[in-house]
Amino acid sequence: MKWIACLLAVTACQSGNAEQPPAPRATGSSTVISLPKPQLTDAYRADITALCDAIRLSGAEDHPADERWQVVAMWLGPHITSDAGHEFLVAVQPLQGEAKAMALESEAKRVGLAKCDLANEWRK
């Protein structure tokens, strides 16, 4: 059941058809985003790593641009396995563009990753 929620969250955020909540609050030149900070377990670290590498791992890079997000969404369901990983996806779902990219990039750094390819895609 969790993978369905994950799939819907990722698909909705990429489709542009989901109702958007209020934008994150801006403070000066930065945006404040409050996301849960789960304990850094091996399972959560693996989930964030999988999320950052989802385009490559899912094979989405081999599909036309208009099909990539569907491929990623279908792949994420069974590959994000921890509750904290699912909660992170739900938390970033309403964000867009730079705010969403920064949230994922920050979490990737928190778990020890030097880069996050999906964050770069979300910036486009």
Return all residues near 47 (Cβ < 8 A) that are at least 6 apart: 80, 81, 82, 84, 85, 88
Question: pLDDT digits over 59-72, tens only?
Answer: 999 999 899 999 99
Concatenate the DSSP letters of all residues of 85-110 into one string: HHHHHHHHTT--HHHHHHHHHHHHHH
Q: State which residues form the domain around 48.
A: 2-15+40-123
Stretch (H or E) spanning 42: helix 42-52
Residue 111 lies in a domain: yes
pTM of the model: 0.72
Residue 26 lies in a domain: no
Look over the chain and give the mean of its residue pLDDT values, rounded to a whole number. 80
Residue 35 lies in a domain: no
Question: Smallest Cα–Cα separation from 119: which of 111, 79, 25, 2?
Answer: 111
Q: Decide if 63 contacts 57 (C-beta within 8 A).
A: no
Return all residues near 111 (Cβ < 8 A) that are at least 6 apart: 40, 44, 45, 48, 49
Residue 50 lies in a domain: yes
Residue 38 above 50 pLDDT?
yes
Count: domains in the chain: 1
| pLDDT of the residue at 34 | 64
Residue 29 lies in a domain: no
123 or 46, greater pLDDT: 46
Name the DSSP class of 37: -
Residue 24 lies in a domain: no
